[in-house]
Structure 1
Amino acid sequence: MLTISSAPQGNSLVIALAGRIDAANAKNLEQYCLEQIDGGAIRLIFDFTAVNYISSAALRVFLVIAKRLNSLQGSVKLCALNTLLRDVFDISGFAKLFVITATVQEAL
């Protein structure tokens, strides 16, 4: 199960994720994020503090979001990835595509 919540901070929207991001809920995450972008949010910070699993389907979602925001001169930052999540991003090569920080404050 995945829980998604968001709150504006400065000129960014911080999206806090909790639980598993897998094939069963990746589409919901994508739809949620695209709705936020369509609503004007072009600087997204994803807080992974409470995420314990991420699948390849979820990685694709972050790629879609990054491409959409790049076309709008926006940005995506990822923060608070645990060791397992960081390994997934490193091994897949996705760590090179995103700014990854230790904390939300650092991302801001």
Structure 2
Amino acid sequence: MSVTFEKLGPVLVVDLLGRLDSANSPQIEGELLERITGADGAVLLDLARLDYISSAGLRVVLVIAKRMKQAGRALVLCSLQPNIHDVFEISGFLSILDVVPKRADALAKLK
């Protein structure tokens, strides 16, 4: 699992690559919280290269979403692979999170 961060204007873009599961979720959660806490503005989670997410990974996304909401900041997720989209749909996350099909859509929504 790897995470990259890129600042595009006021938006912090976070790319997740690989598998987000119980083996790496504590480390990824810590890294994400550190970066979003130290930044201002909106956050875009680009999941185009996320291959797998477990319940532990879903918890990380939920923690990030709660922190962003508490801070009054926007969070948008984009580019979910079909299998990831299915997990988000079954878990009910699609109804509580802002999810768009493409990165360009997310950036337009956040700017």
5 Å matches for 1:19-98?
Answer: 19-98=18-97
CA distance in 2, matches of 1:10, 1:80: 20
1:23 alignment partner, SS class: coil
Following the alignment from structure 1 to structure 2, what is the Cα–Cα distance between the partners of residues 16 and 4?
6
What's the counterpart of residue 6 of structure 1? 5
Return the letter of the residue paired with 1:90: E
- Do the aligned partners of 1:45 and 1:79 also contact (CA within 8 Å) in 2? yes
The alignment's TM-score, normalised by the length of structure 1, stands at 0.93
Mapped partners of 1:29, 1:75: distance in 2 = 20
How many residues in Structure 1 have an aligned counterpart in Structure 2?
A: 107
Counterpart secondary structure, 1:60: helix
Q: CA deviation at 1:73?
A: 0.4
SS of residue paired to 2:72:
coil
Match of 2:103 in 1: 104
For residues 26-69 of structure 1, the C-alpha deviation after alignment (integer angstroms, 9 at most, x for no partner) is 11111111111221244111111111100000111111111111
Question: Gapped runs of 5+ residues in structure 1?
Answer: none
Displaced runs of 4+ in structure 1, greater than 4 A? none
Q: Which has the larger displacement, 5-14 or 33-42?
A: 33-42
Q: Counterpart in 1 of 2:17?
A: 18
What do you get for the CA RMSD once the two structures are aligned? 1.0
- Higher strand proportion, which one? 1
Q: Give unmatched runs, 5+ long, in structure 2.
A: none
| Matched residue SS, 1:86 | helix
Task: Report if aligned partners of 1:42, 1:69 keep a CA contact under 8 Å in 2.
Answer: no
